[in-house]
Amino acid sequence: MHCRIPRFILSWLFTPLALLADINIANAATSCSPLLSHTFPRLQDEAPQNLCQYQGKVILVVNTASFCGFTSQYEGLEKIYAKYKDQGFVVLGFPSNDFGQQEPGSNKEIADFCKNTYDVKFPMFAKSSVSGSNPNPLFKMLITKTGTTPKWNFYKYLIDRNGNVIDSYGSMTKPSSSSLTGAIEKLLGEKSQ
């Protein structure tokens, strides 16, 4: 003999659960900081990527170039990404041709260079402007919030788990520098609000 539960009781039981799920989805969407509320094409295939997926992580945003004296920093960026990613850290790379025309290639050429030369696994986005009169929307906000414009390739902005810009670092600051890794470790030890 089967026990059948009337539909009106089932709907009465599951409606609150469905509403809670909707509320959680809405809260996740609204909890994204304005700084991360941007979508950029992924470098490898130009698929749109919303930066809100990184909310709650410690983020290092870096403008990159393939033919620069600092290009070898890709190796250091990949190392700190690998070291801290399981603790909630991510590097976001933004190739740009703004400085010295040192990123002249197409998105595919840049992606191939990053993969084949440095085995870059951290997220990279399509080539865009990061300075001048028309920086991409993320860099425009980073510049406004810090009062600091990237001065060359491999300029870095550190963002906490709540989407607040904490500091910026010049191109001369290596990814392995104690000032940068110390700040990353400190932020990783803090909980998001």
User: What residues are labeled active site?
Assistant: 68
How would you classify the pairing of strands 156-159 and 58-64? antiparallel
- The beta strand positions in 51-101, using DSSP E, are 58-64, 89-95
Q: What backbone phi and psi angles, to 5 degrees, belong to 11?
A: -65, -35
- Using CA atoms, how far residue 95 sits from 12, 44, 163, in Å, is 53, 12, 21
Distance of CA 35 to the CA centre of its chain: 10
**Residue of 40, 33, 88, 39 lying closest to 60 (CA atoms):** 88
Residue pair 90/122 in contact (Cβ under 8 Å)? The answer is: yes
* Residue 115 C-beta-side C-alpha neighbours within 13 Å: 10
- Using CA atoms, how far residue 62 sits from 91, 153, 158, 169, 190, in Å, is 7, 8, 9, 9, 22
